[in-house]
Amino acid sequence: MSVEILWAEKYRPKSLREVVDQEDVVKRLQVFTKERNMPHLLFAGPPGTGKTTTAHALAHDLYGEDYRLYMLELNASDERGIEVVRTKVKEFARSKLPVDVPFKIVLLDEADNMTADAQQALRRLMEMYVDVTRFILIANYPSKIIEPLQSRCAVFRFTSLRREDVIARLKWICAQERVACDDRGLESIHEVSGGDMRRAINILQAAAALGEVNTSNVYKVVGLATPAEVKALLKTALFEGDFLKSREALRKLMITYGLSGVDIVKQIHREIFSSEITVPEDLRVEIADYLGEIQYRLVEGADDEIQLSALLAKLVLLGRSLRQQPQPSKPVKR
């Protein structure tokens, strides 16, 4: 097993036929490969859902193994100024065309990070060189792309990957790399990655470097507390009402894993909505509402320890209703 090669790159799909869980997108793109023609494209969606991979697969299906000769790839977060648009893109658009396909492709990754001036310059280039060049813009936040550019593109929206597809791909990679893994460990990777396949594969590779891919190793490499530890913290505050004990457990978690206040709040939020924490629906709503308030305060710069202590105090107070259930009345003797 080579840890020098990024598995996310090593196991990237090479053709549109290999792209999974984006059936509508693939079906529409395959029409372009058959006709050997396409408009400018805008790929929009969450990170790690296959936007850049799909663009490479499309170019591979159009041009074959040497597709990189006919595709200019720029990362707009690094090269996002107006000068790049006027030089690199313009020079590439003027160069020689491939034999079988009447255009080349300019791939602008993270185009939502381009400056407004660069986007304005790009709209004119897209019109001037439309006969010989097609642009593929990739954006996590399409609202940051100016309206004139959006109107020039066919928009493809990518959705988060299904849990079963992510886990199936991770199992396949484990088989290829001969890595021992268990189902719970792979489920933990999916939970931590939040549907980001690139992040999921990178976590898998890091966990594999520690030995077996299990829940413990997964949470070690991502620097988060395990769900069992967070559940124990919640139960101490909610069901036992022991504020000092829960605060001590919280400080231990923060020191052991080096967690920030926002990390703790996110993990508590995840566990509150898991099936293993049984609380009434109205209480769950109150906790969720207060978690949102604490998260906002932390993002705005409030002190982690003070805000998390306030959160635990609130959980202890809200848990009173669970700890003070009315006792069944005894029958009166006559």
pLDDT digits (tens, 9 = 90+) for 90-106: 788 777 777 788 899 99
pLDDT digits (tens, 9 = 90+) for 237-273: 988 999 999 999 998 888 888 888 998 999 899 888 8
Token pair, residue 117, equals: 């001036």
Q: What is the mean pLDDT of the chain?
A: 87
Q: Are 64 and 99 in contact (CB under 8 A)?
A: no
CA dihedral 18, 24, 29, 34 (to 10 degrees): 90
Percent of residues in the chain assigned helix, strand, coil, to nearest 5? 60, 10, 30
314 backbone φψ class: left, alpha, beta (φ>0; ψ -120 to 50): alpha
Domains by residue range for the chain, with CATH: 22-157 (3.40.50.300), 163-222 (1.10.8.60), 227-321 (1.20.272.10)
User: Residue 302 is which amino acid?
Assistant: A
pTM: 0.79
pLDDT band for 54, please (50, 70, 90 cuts). very high
The DSSP line for 131-142 is: TTEEEEEEES-G
pLDDT digits (tens, 9 = 90+) for 302-313: 999 899 999 999
User: CA-to-CA distance for 147 and 143, rounded, in angstroms?
Assistant: 8
Query: 296 — phi, psi (to 5°)?
Result: -65, -45
Average pLDDT over residues 286-290: 93
Sign of the alpha-carbon dihedral angle for 109, 62, 23, 203: negative
Residue 218 DSSP SS3: helix
pLDDT digits (tens, 9 = 90+) for 105-157: 999 998 888 888 888 888 888 888 888 889 999 999 999 999 999 999 999 99
Q: Are 198 and 8 in contact (CB under 8 A)?
A: yes
Closest of 8, 77, 17, 14 to residue 49, by C-alpha: 8
- The CA-based angle 220-224-228, given to 5 degrees, is 95
Token pair, residue 213, equals: 């891919």
User: CA-to-CA distance for 84 and 333, rounded, in angstroms?
Assistant: 92
User: CA-to-CA distance for 215 and 305, rounded, in angstroms?
Assistant: 27
